Chains A and B, each alone.
Chain A
């Protein structure tokens, strides 16, 4: 017996949204989630307008949400967030196809890292202060005051006043990811770069260094959910488990993003800065060009589409000190984000007293 509800149900069908529409919508949200000056400070931030992680889909289907990168993969990944914990650094299994090519000794970044270490000496202060201003599409979106102590505490504010208050309130916002990222950067300053890369990648959950069999097992476990979601989203191209070059790109992407994160926290610490530069020197997708900015010699590091699918990030650093100066993130269909940094070495007590 057909009734009126059945009839109405016949009108239910609607043309599904195209897969990239979901990613565009999420990007809109990510941009909106960036707090405006005066709003409560967020616990952590990144250099890009909305987190610049590639929308990769590891075997675990984990990863952070990309901001326009790899829309298809990200669309699936978003609903498949894994709960795995990072593992200790393990040798890169050849079966994963992950070759962790270490730095080209003598490269510009490695040389600069060596110079930073050599000139570091005794460092004054006990914390790194980075004041960031972000402009998106020509509009000032936020200022961010981030204070990362050598002991691993993180305080933040939208301005001097809120940062001082955060310190006075002991509002330490550091989490285990920050700690692992910074530890990896510190290790990279002097340690083996293959190990350092794994440490940096493993700062966030992943399955990249498991054996091929283990990854396939995890991939198979998530297949039904993945396929159902792809069907719902109208994704026609079957997703395949990243191996070989695709896996390498995912790993390199993690190295880039996590390294930039650690630079965000600890830019005024020469050990962290040197470690980050050494890590970035291992990325064949990143180009380094000598440049000048504001009359000072700079280096322009560009992570292009090969690394950041569909977009690029240009990081400008001081050619002599390695201090970050600016970052420009360009993504398809998203206003360009420009961030500028003022980095200084301070003491926690000084900041608490408003002396900075």
Chain B
């Protein structure tokens, strides 16, 4: 199968259909990536913007990477950040005082889901880059190296961020309690 890198190269040479093929390969994954972070409605609105941004910046794609998905996640993340910045604060964060920066919406994400609220709250307390690496690995099934590509950081940095994120979660009392409960139930079975 033709690699994403080759298709992007063909696209740069004027073959518009080639880029549409890249889109076809990754649209479900990128759509899910957006939906996990912004909800379905917003994801549906943002997906087209992501393709346009990716298309317009495809000349910057490093074609030594055959697979474009991490790069597309990076484009999507940039678009998400712009989206978050454009949202009224009250739509995102009831209390922004504890956040690392203004665009971070996580403390307000889906707290309605009570059973998951503990985890979401713990995620919300992570630094944005720690959380991004963690969720890229846990949700998008990326390797740490690919997560580093998304963020435009060295793999070593991504590894450190992932380690910090895991430690922070493990040390959070409510998460520790959840883990203890779950593992004790497993042991008793």
Contact = CB atoms under 8 A, between A and B. Distances in A.
B119 A8 contact: yes
A124 interface: no
11 contacts: A4-B169, A8-B119, A8-B139, A14-B36, A17-B35, A17-B40, A28-B52, A33-B19, A64-B17, A78-B24, A81-B21
A11 B123 CA distance: 10
A166 interface: no
Interface in B6-35: 14-17, 19-21, 23-25, 27-28, 31-32, 35
B35 A15 contact: yes
A12 to B, nearest CB: 5
A146 to B, nearest CB: 14
Contacts of B166: 4-5
Interface string B162-183: 0000100110000100110011
Given A22-B27, A25-B27, A8 B123 contact: yes
Contact of B23 (A9, A24, A29, A40): A29
A25 B51 contact: yes
B105 to A, nearest CB: 15
Q: Say which size band chain B's interface belongs to.
A: 35 or more
B117 to A, nearest CB: 11
A10 to B, nearest CB: 7
A2 B179 CA distance: 7
Contacts of B138: 5, 8-9, 12
A78 B28 contact: no
B157 to A, nearest CB: 19
B43 interface: yes
Contact of B139 (A11, A43, A233): A11
A30 B52 CA distance: 9
B142 interface: no
B47 A22 contact: yes
Nearest to B187: A1
B52 A16 contact: no
A15 B32 CA distance: 8
Contacts of A10: 116, 119
A224 interface: no
Interface in A28-66: 28-30, 32-33, 40, 42-43, 64-65
Contacts of A5: 134, 137-138, 166
Contacts of B123: 8, 11
A318 to B, nearest CB: 31
